[in-house]
Structure 1
Amino acid sequence: MSRSGSEIAQLRVISQQLATPAPSIIDAVTHLTCVQAQDWKASRSALALRAGCSTAEVDDAANSAAIVRSWPMRGTLHWLPAQDLQWMLSLTAASTVRAAAGRHRQLGIADSDVEEVRRLTESALSAGSRSRNALKALWAEAGVDVAGQRFIHLLQRLALDGVICFGPVIDGQQQLVLCSLWIPSPRALAREAAIVEFAQRYLRSHGPATMADFCWWSKLLVRDVKPLWPQIVSSFEEVIVEGRSLFVDPAVMDSLPALRRAARAPMLLPAFDELILGYADRSPTLSPGDFEKVVPGRNGYFLPTVLDSATVVGTWKATSPIEVSPFHGELRGPVDRALRRLSDSFPT
């Protein structure tokens, strides 16, 4: 079935639960599978938008051990369901460790350093959670060199090894915990089953999307995904855009007539939002000519965005009143009139 780029953008808004919210934060995270969380504040807003609630409920979900933050893919922090962390790491951690090896050599990080901080961390966190700064101080007191980027790289390595993750939120700071204590019964999946589930959950929450989109998002290799692709997409609907095959949950396709208006409504999205970040090809939502207006200088920092008809039409700042930078002249009247309401209700 052939579809226009504008319909692909609307379908992605629906898939990502921006047109109709999830019942809870836990449901939103489970549906999305992984949500970019390098920016703590923006990530909480992204989740709250998709569950129609406050960011306090994100903290509640973290405190319940239902969701955690870790580095499950792309060498970047993400929110994900706690039960899924270990099988995701089984797919992705080794390649992230290999990618960081050169930087570790530059920083003088040896295997013995990793083993030493692992020993210190397991001993300290066996008694309960610690803040990032408290753990850094503990390592320093034990003689570990935590200068510069050494600390964050050692911390990430312990997370990639499945030793630690970010768990409960105390006084506005997410604490580090031992995975073995915080997630005592993680799900275990065989490798092929894990790839199939990972890809199907991505398509269900991000579709319409391609295999290239999934491989970019997860950083799994095409050679590992391609043989399983027919099985992965067997229950999805294929849509054709300019000769390319994209796949989407049939339920999302069926919902488009009822949710089209909601999908096209003006929206404010936080920095690093998954609707912009979650694809190799972002062109249905963000015109390639406008990309550097969202990521100035292609520096990796994705600004908060304004959506109109499911496409990015500007960026915004949370000032009072809201400050908007439209891409092409003035915003349409309905969008401009909606800005104050959207800003006042934006979850922070």
Structure 2
Amino acid sequence: MADSGSAAGGRAPTEAPGWADVCARRLSRHFLDRPAAAGRVPDVVAAMGGAHAQVMSAAELSVGLRTEGTTRQDVRDALWEERTLVKTFGPRGTVHLLPAAELPLWTAALSAVPMPASVLDRSARLDGRQTDEVVEAIAAILREGEPLTVDELSEAVIARTGDWAADPVMPAFTGMWPRWRQALHVAAHRGALCFGPNRGRKTTYTSPDRWLPGPADGVPHPTDPERALAELVRRYLRSYGPARPRDFARWLSAPRPWATGLFASLGDELRPVAPEFATPGDDMYELADEPAYPAEPPAPTVRLLPYFDAYLVGSQPRQLIHPGRAAERALSATGQAGTTQAVTVGGEVAGLWHQKRSGRKLALTVELFGRSTRKRRAEVEAQAERVGEILEAVHTLTFGPVEAGKHL
């Protein structure tokens, strides 16, 4: 991962960092101040803590903005040809790209995260035994053959487990899904399932054991749940720190008390910090081996971040990253970040942007909050050009209001 380093004249780790210091470190760790060298796609995805991929073009853009010369095709090649990335259900049970070599770490950690209470009626839920049975069936089915569509997998799971798995109890976009589908992301978290290549417009699922190459980096990753969870805390704080246990809990969609206990279990590996912007008594933590903050934060960088970019989703406090109008325009009603495509300046949301694609043409609209300078517009134009390169399109840029709704 990128490291800010301990430059001469840097601010001592024990001194209270300011907001600009924290933003500078996070931007560096995310390769958003200076992109990583070409060919480091898995390293970049690791530093992000995974790239949100519910909207695949957004994941391609997130990775491309952080890596020199990378296009969407490079990300696709890493995923489907080189298989150095894997598409699976990651933090919060949402679709992510993760480094393939680190999948054992992620499955060990995510399988041990307490699941939030189901919103389904008790009569519609899977119990623990049924969940285990479905996961075991999925693992066996996918190890046996080629990638399957969800309908093909559904038929096979029901045949192995029984008619109860077919009960249409889960509300879906159209109609109802069968009961077993509640365990789909659980199967991924336990290492039984990942995404395979699309078959036409249809998603497929496959077994990581069949799909992914064996470890090639020579680095053992912890598969013990306790060790894996501790490593996940370290990685989160390296990329998003300083942070509170509840920030980590929100990132994983996990209970706050559990996260507080997990932080405490790391003992002297973590140190409490009191940034200038922190609320008194609201403890924030960083890794005890963090170097000094840079004496002079780098000049503000302009970035056009896509939907659910990892930097926006994982960073806290929300109200500082989304100052003024940004909170109203870029956050959901529940305070969720990433539901819009955001223009950031120095790590803070300073506008919105929208894209509309037609073949090879990409029309970009950018709305900047407040007064914009000629220099700021030139920086946006440079970013728009990079977005076009990543998405392999001929772009046009218009400055004006963005009317697109939030992606929920």
Change (3 A) 1:170 1:25: farther
State the partner residue of 2:320: 284
Which one has a larger percent helix, Structure 1 or Structure 2? Answer: 1
Matched, 1:192 2:257: no
Change (3 A) 1:120 1:225: closer
Report if the CA contact (8 A) 2:134-2:183 is conserved.
no
CA distance in 1, matches of 2:228, 2:138: 32
Q: How does 1:69-108 map to 2 (within 5 A)?
A: 69-93=87-111, 95=113, 97=115, 99-100=117-118, 102-103=119-120, 105=122, 107=124
Question: Among 11, 21, 27, which residue is 2:43 paired with?
Answer: 27
Report if the CA contact (8 A) 1:316-1:325 is conserved.
yes
Report if the CA contact (8 A) 1:209-1:247 is conserved.
yes
State the partner residue of 2:176: 148
Report if the CA contact (8 A) 1:114-1:157 is conserved.
no
State the partner residue of 1:335: 376
**C-alpha displacement of 1:169:** 6.1
Calculate the TM-score normalised by the size of structure 1: 0.80
State the partner residue of 1:162: 191
Matched, 1:253 2:293: yes
Question: Among 276, 291, 307, which residue is 2:344 paired with?
Answer: 307
The root-mean-square deviation of aligned C-alpha atoms, in Å, is: 3.5
Q: Which amino acid aligns with 2:298?
A: R
Matched, 1:37 2:73: no
Matched, 1:179 2:208: yes
CA distance in 1, matches of 2:260, 2:301: 39
Question: Among 364, 367, 371, which residue is 1:322 paired with?
Answer: 364
- Listed one character per residue, the Cα deviations across residues 46-78 of structure 1 (whole Å, up to 9, x for unaligned) are 112112311222222222332223233322222
CA distance in 2, matches of 1:9, 1:223: 24
Change (3 A) 1:112 1:230: closer
State the partner residue of 1:6: 20
**C-alpha displacement of 1:118:** 5.2
Report if the CA contact (8 A) 2:138-2:193 is conserved.
no
**C-alpha displacement of 1:105:** 4.0
Report if the CA contact (8 A) 1:33-1:81 is conserved.
no
Residue correspondences, number: 340
Larger Rg computed on CA atoms: 2
Change (3 A) 1:271 1:285: same
**C-alpha displacement of 1:260:** 0.5
Q: Which amino acid aligns with 1:50?
A: R
CA distance in 1, matches of 2:155, 2:335: 31
Higher alpha-carbon deviation: 49-58 or 64-73: 64-73
Q: Which amino acid aligns with 2:210?
A: L
CA distance in 1, matches of 2:247, 2:276: 14
Q: Secondary structure at the match of 1:303?
A: coil
CA distance in 2, matches of 1:124, 1:195: 27
Question: Among 57, 67, 72, which residue is 2:74 paired with?
Answer: 57
**C-alpha displacement of 1:28:** 0.7
